[in-house]
Amino acid sequence: MDECVGLRDWGGRDGAAPIVLLHGLMGRGRTWRRQIPWLRRYGRVFTFDAEFHRGAGFPVPPDDISTERFVADVAEILTYIDQGPAVLIGHSMGGLHAWCAAADYPELVRALVVEDMSPEFTGQSTDTWAPWFASWPERFADQAECEALFGPIAGRYFYEAFDDGALHGELDVFRAIADHWGPRDHWAQWRSVGVPTLLIEAEFTVVPTGVGERMVRSYTGPDLRYLKVDGAGHLVHDDAPGVYRGAVEAFLSGLD
């Protein structure tokens, strides 16, 4: 193909494995802007806006919101980049897509960084989110209004993802993506990961109790590093940026 919609090349070190950043649900590639400058030392950096997260200019009917569909998209961009197996760095939903890509397309993945994501959310749904979603304005006037609703860390993150304060996708589609995780799990894919992996979990995590430890025990790949970040919320890379950077840089340095 001649182009890859949603993919952005931020430049960086040539001759090393490319680094592809995968955002979480309701996120966007540009929310990684604080990490991109230091990541360029370790490889050529790319971000990718997942389907349904690209704004009003890219309307796509929600015909398939399965994890398999998103993972196939990741494989497509890695093939398009064509610079050898890539390091996938994923937050939340992006972490899930990263390890599933490593399991399903092992020839395309060099290593993984997985931030605060679980292989299972048994029995959970987004029904309790509905009143919260209903409280959102159609457009946030500025970042301060966004931070007033979500808090300073998440508020900045979401405002960066939004289009001039307006949501960059459909809430019903975002909910459907999350609801897709409830009745199933992705343990088989996690156990199939065969590359070095850095697993990061927040203290105030979305990962169900005990699941992080189970992920450590069930990993069968060559090298797993696990870090629980005290005091951090779900957005570890923004909530504890120094700790996150130190862990990721140490991990990437060990791949050379």
Kindly tell me if the per-residue pLDDT of 56 is higher than 70.
no
- List the 197-202 sheet strands across, edge first: 7-12, 44-48, 19-22, 86-91, 109-115, 197-202, 224-229
Kindly tell me if the per-residue pLDDT of 70 is higher than 90.
yes
Question: Can you list the domains of the chain with their CATH numbers?
Answer: 7-123+185-253 (3.40.50.1820)
pLDDT of residue 144: 96
Encode pLDDT of 173-218 as tens digits. 888 888 888 888 999 999 999 999 999 999 999 999 999 999 999 9
| Token pair listed for 229 | 């970040």
pLDDT of residue 18: 98
**φ, ψ (nearest 5 deg) of residue 15:** 90, -5
pLDDT of residue 2: 45
Encode pLDDT of 77-123 as tens digits. 999 999 999 999 999 999 999 999 999 999 999 999 999 999 998 88
User: Per-residue confidence at 58, pLDDT binned at 50, 70, 90?
Assistant: low
Mean predicted confidence (pLDDT) in 129-145: 90
Q: How distant is the alpha carbon of residue 154 from its chain centre?
A: 14
